[in-house]
């Protein structure tokens, strides 16, 4: 149940801007006497700066030799005299109240051009089927279709296959979730390992037997514990084509909540494993269980050199429409790909599920009789009350006839006389008995069919690619190319409904804490991979490979695999059981710690000027991390930097391939903070209070913010001091807007606080680029105005709650089934609202009982100055069956169109009118 436990931090940005993360690390060397001894007068003379660009490593190293001497001199000089560097002017407040910064005038590479946000308006690719048009065609009426409840009656003429026989490809499969009801390891131990152990024996018994496998996470685990004989047997099955690896990702990813970075990463992890251990590359994609399908996936699969793919969980009304128009197989085109070079052949399964009752044909009551695991005496049976019968000489003619009837009906939904019939279910084929039951009984049916020419059918076991190749061959085209007359489609398959109004959109927001943790891990993985590569390349050139912890690579692999595992469609979706969630959480936290270690080790090596004295100490990390998490489900605690009169070093890493100018905030233990750049300039610092509660500030911890210019993919070092003389440190101006009279709030020296009773008047904060208006009553954002734009845009944030239906099905981890329109979130007392303004940033923090929202703007040039950071921290653990929603109400004249994203990879264009028909619940609240 998604609402039981939610504590989260969500970050967001407006104005088509991406927010990247930085890694902050603090030098510990000063507090480590042992290290100080071993490294002589280290670190002051040894810290250097590297603006890392792979191709310039050598040259930069040379430059750094010069820089370091310069730094050393200037640092010493400045510490002695306390002089402000020549370019350092104090920020000042202009007459109109806005802060003016001493900007060095160097341009930033990232700036927002008016046209940058227009890309979505560009020409769209030409297709026969635009999903948005399809929505407007459909009535979503859910009429009873007979035996195929969500479809229609299918008829055929008996002589239709006389000229060209039906080719039936039965594809045995087993759907293994890498975590859901049980953890990944428990599934492996209880079920999955047995599937592989039986597979090597049972497939080898008859070369006509085939199987497909998709989750490399499980396969790799089995392989790594199998003896060489089993490995050899398995390799033989794969090389002979009896066993096919489909998709070949680490998992079968979710496609709605996953970011494309992680979708690609888990695909690479699986593919590299296959390449390295088996020398095979997957040809076909197989995604039977993800809850809706993104257009990002066909693109990624195409780029991974696959030629065909299969999907299953599509809205039942769309399936019905596509079946009726024989459009279940189509070329999937990217909306933006006018050249159509990334088209992907896609097969959409027509019926309700991927289990056997819903794959042989339209009638589940009949198909179930051909799931031979459900033979009488088994633990599973047929809910349609007619059990399977084992195939004997006596009944084979009748049984084959019944099955062929289903095959023929299903075939009528497709354009070729080639038919795909998946045979499997969740965690199937774990017992030897089931292998015998399925393969022997089906082989008898096939043998009978194939030896009776009057049936005009050729049936066999097959892999997925066997099927696709037969389709291409029947159409006379090369694999991956569009057969004549097959439709071209663009769009995606969200939101998914499997029946009635059961829209699977609840999982988009289930367990947001872990969805956030996933993104944190992804940015750390990227950072760690970049820094590790730079450090190793550098160590090799310097001949220091022996001293560098090259073995950190295993931490990277570990993290890739754990992040990959978390992209599974029951992991990042939030639909797994509690114990499984904890298992994922522990894996992610472990990987986060590992990645921070990789980053620290690489940064250590890279910032040392004199590599000769470089030593790696396993137990004594050179740098401290920027934050820590006590447990997998706790929020990060930022590291406090204890200032002294001698410098503490702060190393910042920019994982983006552009130079960045951004505001960095660290926690310090002294209000007398002074920050120097590597070349000795004193930087303006905005000093703000650290708040213990809404109205109580800490007397020991302060926030120090300064503007940092960071090289692309590079590290920068800053020096922080506790200095009686800190001329460039400016205090934030804090105003507390509190409900009711009589509460007197006093700031703690040296940070003054003003307070006032709330009133209904809107109030504003501003930077050099933006002015934000806030509601006096709610303390929430109401308007945005850009500097060069006289027009104020209404962007009103509201918080609302949804209840769930009183009877039958309720909202949960998967479904969103609200009890009606959203109701405004309300609490008896007005919130305490804190307004903090200073030279580098301004922010408004509204404290409500169940959430706290911070809207911050930065007074910097470029993209960072044009974006809003919106952070919402919520805790609704005392609520049951309630959803908290944030709504943005704007006066943007966009008509019916609405843009959102798919996997952070592409823009999705939506139109609420078509939504309201396809998923009434999503827009049930029309306000």
Give the binding site for ligand NAG (CB under 6 A).
Answer: 94, 96, 98, 100, 281, 305, 766
Catalytic (active site) residue 289: yes
Show the beta-strand stretches assigned E in 268-312.
284-287, 308-311
Give the closest residue to 909 by CA, choosing from 130, 15, 17. 130
For residues 481 and 426, give the distance between their C-alpha atoms in angstroms, rounded to a whole number: 32
Q: What are phi and psi of 540, to 5 degrees?
A: -60, -45
The minimum distance between CB 244 and ligand NAG, in angstroms, equals: 13
Give the closest residue to 662 by CA, choosing from 527, 843, 861. 861
Query: Cα separations (Å) of 394 from 398, 399, 448, 460, 559?
Result: 9, 10, 12, 21, 57
The minimum distance between CB 784 and ligand NAG, in angstroms, equals: 13
For residues 300 and 261, give the distance between their C-alpha atoms in angstroms, rounded to a whole number: 11
For residues 219 and 781, give the distance between their C-alpha atoms in angstroms, rounded to a whole number: 50
Q: Which is nearer to ligand NAG, 100 or 238 (CB)?
A: 100
The minimum distance between CB 564 and ligand NAG, in angstroms, equals: 21
For residues 697 and 671, give the distance between their C-alpha atoms in angstroms, rounded to a whole number: 13
Q: Which is nearer to ligand NAG, 393 or 788 (CB)?
A: 788
The minimum distance between CB 281 and ligand NAG, in angstroms, equals: 6
Q: Which is nearer to ligand NAG, 134 or 245 (CB)?
A: 245
- Cβ contact 509:516 at 8 Å: no
For residues 104 and 452, give the distance between their C-alpha atoms in angstroms, rounded to a whole number: 86
Query: Cα separations (Å) of 325 from 131, 232, 414?
Result: 14, 46, 9
Q: Which is nearer to ligand NAG, 56 or 481 (CB)?
A: 481
Q: Which is nearer to ligand NAG, 151 or 480 (CB)?
A: 480
Query: Cα separations (Å) of 417 from 458, 462, 475, 608?
Result: 11, 16, 10, 68
Given phi > 0 = left and psi -120 to 50 = alpha, else beta, which region is 574? left
Q: Which is nearer to ligand NAG, 479 or 904 (CB)?
A: 479
Burial string for 581-613 (b: 16+ CB within 10 Å, else e) reads bebbbebbbebbebbbbbbbbbbbbbbbbebee
Exactly one of 177, 265, 289, 552 is catalytic; which is it?
289
The minimum distance between CB 15 and ligand NAG, in angstroms, equals: 18
Q: Which is nearer to ligand NAG, 189 or 305 (CB)?
A: 305
The minimum distance between CB 94 and ligand NAG, in angstroms, equals: 4
Q: Which is nearer to ligand NAG, 94 or 807 (CB)?
A: 94
Q: Which is nearer to ligand NAG, 266 or 307 (CB)?
A: 307
The minimum distance between CB 289 and ligand NAG, in angstroms, equals: 26
- Cβ contact 515:572 at 8 Å: yes
DSSP code at position 818: B
Burial string for 354-372 (b: 16+ CB within 10 Å, else e) reads bbbbbbbbbbbebbbbbbb
Burial class (CB in 10 A: 0-12, 13-18, 19+), 384: middle
Sign of CA dihedral 785, 786, 788, 789: negative
Q: Which is nearer to ligand NAG, 100 or 748 (CB)?
A: 100
**Rg, Å, the chain Cα set:** 31
- Cβ contact 238:277 at 8 Å: no
For residues 180 and 278, give the distance between their C-alpha atoms in angstroms, rounded to a whole number: 28
- Cβ contact 271:263 at 8 Å: no
Q: Which is nearer to ligand NAG, 348 or 730 (CB)?
A: 730
Our CA angle for 784, 790, 791, nearest 5°, is 55
* DSSP codes, 761-805: S-EEEE-SSEEEEE-TTT--EEEEEETT--PPEEEEEEEEEE-B-
The minimum distance between CB 153 and ligand NAG, in angstroms, equals: 40
Q: Which is nearer to ligand NAG, 281 or 554 (CB)?
A: 281
* DSSP codes, 554-574: HHHHHHHHHHHHHTBTTTTTS
- Cβ contact 171:310 at 8 Å: no
The minimum distance between CB 33 and ligand NAG, in angstroms, equals: 51
- Cβ contact 245:238 at 8 Å: yes
The minimum distance between CB 114 and ligand NAG, in angstroms, equals: 19
DSSP code at position 612: G
Q: Which tokens belong to 80? A: 């002695």
The minimum distance between CB 46 and ligand NAG, in angstroms, equals: 43
The minimum distance between CB 924 and ligand NAG, in angstroms, equals: 41
The minimum distance between CB 480 and ligand NAG, in angstroms, equals: 8
Q: What are phi and psi of 187, to 5 degrees?
A: -60, -45
Which DSSP helix (H) or strand (E) runs through 865?
A: helix 863-866
- Cβ contact 797:887 at 8 Å: yes
Q: Which is nearer to ligand NAG, 463 or 654 (CB)?
A: 463
Q: Active-site residues: which are they? A: 289
């Amino acid at each position: 149940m998604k609402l039981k436990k939610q504590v989260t931090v969500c970050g967001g940005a407006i104005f088509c801007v991406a927010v990247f993360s930085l890694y902050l690390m603090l030098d510990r060397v000063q507090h480590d006497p042992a290290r100080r001894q071993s490294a002589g007068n280290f670190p002051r003379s040894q810290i250097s700066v590297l603006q890392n660009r792979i191709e310039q490593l050598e040259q930069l190293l040379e430059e750094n030799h010069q820089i370091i001497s310069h730094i050393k001199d200037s640092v010493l000089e400045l510490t002695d005299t306390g002089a402000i560097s020549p370019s350092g002017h104090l920020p000042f407040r202009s007459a109109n109240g806005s802060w003016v910064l001493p900007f060095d005038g160097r341009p930033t590479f990232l700036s927002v051009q008016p046209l940058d946000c227009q890309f979505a308006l560009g020409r769209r690719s030409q297709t026969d089927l635009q999903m948005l048009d399809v929505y407007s065609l459909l009535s979503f009426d859910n009429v009873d279709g007979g035996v195929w409840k969500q479809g229609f009656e299918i008829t055929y003429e008996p002589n239709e296959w006389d000229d060209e026989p039906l080719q039936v490809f039965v594809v045995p499969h087993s759907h293994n979730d890498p975590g859901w009801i049980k953890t990944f390891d428990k599934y492996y131990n209880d079920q999955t390992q047995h599937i592989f152990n039986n597979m090597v024996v049972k497939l080898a018994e008859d070369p006509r037997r085939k199987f497909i496998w998709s989750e490399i996470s499980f396969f790799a685990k089995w392989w790594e514990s199998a003896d060489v004989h089993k490995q050899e047997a398995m390799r033989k099955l794969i090389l002979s084509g009896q066993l096919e690896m489909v998709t070949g990702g680490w998992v079968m990813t979710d496609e709605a909540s996953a970011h494309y970075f992680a979708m690609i990463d888990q695909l690479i992890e699986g593919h590299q494993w296959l390449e390295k251990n088996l020398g095979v590359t997957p040809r076909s994609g197989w995604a039977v269980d993800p809850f809706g399908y993104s257009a990002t996936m066909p693109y990624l699969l195409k780029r991974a050199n696959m030629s065909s793919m299969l999907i299953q969980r599509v809205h039942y009304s769309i399936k019905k429409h596509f079946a009726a128009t024989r459009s279940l197989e189509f070329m999937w085109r990217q909306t933006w790909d006018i050249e159509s070079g990334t088209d992907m052949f896609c097969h959409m399964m027509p019926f309700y599920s991927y289990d056997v009752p819903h794959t042989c044909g339209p009638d589940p009551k009949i198909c179930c009789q051909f799931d031979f695991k459900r033979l009488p005496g088994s633990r599973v049976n047929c809910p349609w009350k007619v059990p399977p019968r084992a195939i004997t000489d006596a009944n084979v003619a009748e049984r084959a006839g019944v099955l062929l009837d289903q095959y023929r009906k299903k075939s009528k939904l497709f354009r070729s006389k080639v038919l795909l019939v998946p045979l499997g279910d969740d965690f199937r084929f774990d017992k030897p008995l089931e292998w015998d039951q399925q393969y022997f009984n089906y082989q008898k049916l096939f043998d009978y069919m194939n030896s009776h020419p009057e049936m005009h059918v050729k049936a066999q076991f097959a892999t997925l690619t066997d099927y696709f190749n037969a389709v291409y061959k029947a159409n006379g085209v090369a694999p991956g190319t569009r057969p004549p007359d097959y439709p071209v489609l663009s769009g995606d398959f969200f939101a998914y409904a499997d029946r009635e109004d059961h829209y699977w959109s609840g999982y988009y927001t289930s367990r947001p804490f872990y969805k956030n943790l996933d993104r944190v891990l992804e940015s750390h993985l990227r950072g760690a991979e970049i820094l590790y590569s730079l450090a190793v390349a550098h160590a090799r050139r310097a001949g220091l490979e022996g001293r560098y912890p090259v073995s950190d690579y295993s931490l990277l692999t570990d993290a890739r695999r754990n992040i990959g595992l978390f992209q599974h469609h029951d992991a990042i979706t939030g639909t797994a059981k509690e114990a499984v969630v904890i298992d994922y959480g522990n894996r992610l936290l472990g990987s986060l710690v590992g990645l921070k270690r990789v980053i620290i080790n690489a940064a250590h090596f890279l910032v040392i000027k004199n590599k000769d004295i470089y030593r790696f100490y396993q137990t004594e990390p050179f740098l401290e991390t920027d934050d820590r998490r006590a447990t997998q489900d706790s929020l990060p605690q930022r590291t406090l930097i204890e200032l002294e009169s001698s410098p503490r070093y702060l190393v910042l890493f920019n994982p983006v391939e552009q130079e960045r100018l951004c505001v960095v905030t660290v926690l310090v233990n002294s209000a007398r903070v002074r920050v120097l750049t590597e070349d000795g300039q004193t930087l303006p610092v905005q000093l703000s209070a650290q708040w213990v509660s809404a109205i109580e500030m800490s007397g020991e911890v302060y926030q120090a913010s300064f503007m940092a210019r960071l090289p692309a993919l590079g590290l920068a070092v800053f020096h922080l001091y506790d200095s009686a003389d800190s001329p460039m440190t400016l205090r934030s101006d804090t105003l507390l807007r509190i409900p009711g009279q009589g509460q007197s709030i006093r700031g703690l020296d040296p940070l003054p606080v003003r307070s006032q009773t709330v009133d209904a008047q809107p109030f504003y904060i501003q930077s050099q680029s933006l002015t934000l208006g806030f509601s006096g009553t709610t303390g929430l954002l109401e308007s945005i105005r850009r500097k060069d734009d006289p027009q104020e845009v209404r962007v009103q944030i509201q918080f609302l709650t949804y209840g769930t239906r009183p009877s039958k099905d309720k909202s949960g981890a998967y479904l969103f089934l609200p009890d009606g329109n959203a109701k405004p979130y309300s609490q008896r007392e007005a919130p305490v609202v804190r307004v903090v303004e200073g030279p580098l940033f301004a922010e408004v923090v509204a404290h409500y009982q169940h959430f706290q929202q911070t809207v911050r703007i930065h007074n910097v040039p470029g993209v960072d100055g044009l974006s809003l950071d919106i952070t919402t921290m919520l805790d609704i653990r005392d609520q049951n069956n309630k959803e908290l929603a944030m709504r943005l109400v704007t006066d943007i004249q966009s008509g019916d169109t609405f843009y959102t994203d798919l996997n952070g990879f592409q823009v999705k264009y939506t139109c609420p009118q078509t939504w309201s028909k396809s998923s009434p619940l999503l827009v049930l609240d029309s306000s």
